[in-house]
Amino acid sequence: MKRNNNRLTRGRKIESKKGALNVNTRLEDNARLDRRVRSRASLTVGNKAIYPGQGPCLICRVVAKTVGSGAMMFYQMSVLDESGGELFVPVDKARAIGVRLLMKKSEIPPLLTHLKKRTKAADNWKQRASDNLKLLTSGSPFDLAEVVASLTELSDTRTLTLGESGTLSKARRLLICEISEVMAETKMAAELKLDQALTARK
């Protein structure tokens, strides 16, 4: 009996390692795709950019603000979705925070192709929550696609937790907003593209 328990324990460890390897491989693929998006021109006034967790914004101007005993330069950004609002982002930290230019139209098809790939979320809900938080706040559209694809696939087999439902909803909203802005089309049309890609998962 003890031997059987040891075999089960080893089996679980092997499955866990395989799952971790699969996740790491997908994240490496995401990073390669994302480098193409981030490698373009620097942020300038008049650009539309993405702020992680907020979606498309317009860089309105660069302003100086006093911080402590010195002055710092900030991008003043207006959020472009219906929630509105303004953000002030330190110019020298914008890239590190994950602020980037909008995708190009030519980058939308690879993003939709990414959504068509089958993926698997971690079995442990705490690990899933940790993974999804990192992906959601990275600023990468491909990481958002990973969240949408994995949680959508998970929802096919079990009921999502309240937190997972909220995460899926937010990731979908951010992706739809960017696709809509890039393609100059309605959010309804962008959502249709996203749903068609998910339906075509292989």
Q: Per-residue pLDDT tens for 27-37? A: 555 555 445 44
Distances (CA, A) of 169 to 15, 41, 114, 119, 152: 29, 31, 18, 18, 10
Q: Is the pLDDT of residue 70 over 90?
A: no
The residues that bridge with 86 in the sheet, in sequence order, are 78
Higher pLDDT, 167 or 67: 167
Mean per-residue pLDDT, 183-198: 96
145-160 average pLDDT score: 92
pLDDT tens-digit series, residues 73-114:
999 999 998 777 899 999 999 988 889 999 999 999 999 999
Q: Is the pLDDT of residue 122 over 50?
A: yes
Cβ–Cβ under 8 Å, residues 145 and 175: yes
pLDDT value of residue 9:
46
Percentage of the chain surpassing pLDDT 70?
A: 79
- Distance between CA atoms of residues 136 and 129, nearest Å: 10
Q: Are 174 and 182 in contact (CB under 8 A)?
A: no
Cα separation, 127 vs 173, in Å, equals 23
Spatial neighbors of 197 by CB under 8 A, at least 6 apart, are 112, 113, 115, 116
Give the C-alpha separation, 81 to 70, whole Å.
33
Band (pLDDT 50/70/90 cuts) for residue 58 is very high
- Separation between Cα atoms, residue 28 and residue 61, nearest integer Å: 35
- pLDDT higher than 80, residue 195: yes
Count of residues in the chain: 202
Looking at residue 123, its pLDDT comes to 85
| CA-derived radius of gyration, the chain | 19
Judge whether 177 and 55 are in contact, CB under 8 Å. Answer: yes
